Chain A
């Protein structure tokens, strides 16, 4: 608690009179001592623990192909090694023609993508035409650069359709904005890239692209402990976006893929019988 003498408020010291008794000579109130400490990121709050760095605890991917853009995400949220949820929605529906993926701080992603949605709608009403994906992603980048070093954690992809076609951008809390054809974000991204890079072609059909996205996410959930739950798949095309799959359980996928290869899927394929 800092005590202020009420007489120190209000009157600005604009001139000095010789007779000092007539005017309340006041000292400008001294500002309370507030120390602002910038954090390097959410990891600093939790003591630098790598696993509590929420930006990394996920797998999301997106790629451009001839039928538009495919987005696939997992649905696991973990606090350290504790699984807090297996049913998180990591694709945020900004509006009918724009989607954002969530990686990092969930609150940060949800809030700022909703803020972006508001901005897009306002633009549409004022200007009579929809905001382009490039402009929407640039707007978000501008916000994040403004909050640089203040501890926001976001590694999101903005994907959408406009008059020039379907576009995919990667935006993160450092203020990076990259346009690209293939992105994967999160701790499981390395596993997803392995599958994605192997089978990606621009001229995939929609079914093939959906299958590729599902497989890539599945492989990431199998190897990465911070990814799991269900796979959600969205397709962006010239008329907006469609939710292709709302939640395919990766456990079912594991046993289905094993069966397709003629295996059991119990980790004992080499029959070493280590038990």
Chain B
């Protein structure tokens, strides 16, 4: 726990379904072993069809999100159109690499729907993009969530099933990590709507 990625703690997970995507995150904001608040936002709606989840140092979560918000707003103004999820995924990678020798201490996950097709991309802290997986995790509880994901995941799930599976994976994973938890939020994005649900989890 001496690393900078473990200073604040936190976990995120993203999953693809049939023409839908889901993201989930915990809500803890802590400083090493002490929990400060239990309502810290880690998943951001960049655009109606793009979600950005960030884990790592909370200061950089906020800063990187603000940077991406600025980029997409300028893009909308300059190009007078919405940004495609695949374009945004690329933007995240290059923005991270711009700080190659003084990186943001975050591990982002981008999820979106492009013409109904789900897009999921994950990165290391210097912008290596990986977009071929059906589910991805990040944060201190990531490895524990992987186990639950592997067990529960199946391809082409409906939005309701996906919400259930991603919520369960997040909770099971965070229960084994002392630095993640204290609540959970699940976001399910379909062509029609974005559903946001608060999970009732262990508050310990």
Contact = CB atoms under 8 A, between A and B. Distances in A.
Q: Please determine whether chains A and B interact with each other in the same assembly.
A: yes
Interface of A: 49-51, 76, 78, 80-83, 187, 221-229, 250-251, 254-255, 265-268, 270, 272, 274-275
Contacts of B179: 81, 225
B40 interface: yes
Nearest to B174: A83
B35 A225 contact: yes
A83 B35 CA distance: 16
Q: Please name the 5 residue pairs, one residue from A and one from B, whose CB atoms are nearest each other, closest first.
A: A267-B38, A228-B204, A225-B178, A274-B41, A51-B1
B196 A78 contact: no
Contacts of B35: 222-225
A274 B40 contact: yes
The B interface is mostly helix, strand or loop, or mixed, namely: loop
Given A50-B32, A76-B178, A221-B204, 19 more contacts: A49-B1, A81-B1, A82-B177, A82-B178, A83-B175, A222-B204, A224-B33, A225-B33, A225-B35, A254-B203, A254-B204, A265-B203, A266-B183, A267-B37, A268-B39, A274-B41, A275-B41, A275-B43, A275-B196
B198 A50 contact: no
Interface residues of B, number: 32
Secondary structure of the A contact surface, majority rule:
loop
Interface of B: 1-2, 6, 9, 27, 30, 32-35, 37-41, 43, 140, 175-179, 182-183, 185, 187, 196, 198, 200, 202-204
30 contacts: A49-B2, A51-B1, A51-B33, A81-B1, A81-B6, A81-B178, A82-B176, A82-B178, A83-B175, A83-B177, A222-B35, A223-B34, A224-B34, A224-B35, A225-B30, A225-B33, A225-B35, A226-B33, A226-B178, A227-B204, A254-B204, A255-B200, A266-B38, A266-B198, A267-B183, A270-B39, A274-B41, A275-B41, A275-B43, A275-B198
A274 to B, nearest CB: 4
Contacts of A228: 178, 202, 204
Contacts, number: 83
A254 B201 CA distance: 10
Contacts of A49: 1-2
A226 B177 CA distance: 10
Nearest to A187: B33
A259 to B, nearest CB: 12
Given A49-B1, A51-B33, A274-B40, A81 B140 contact: yes
Nearest to A227: B204
Nearest to B200: A266
A43 to B, nearest CB: 11
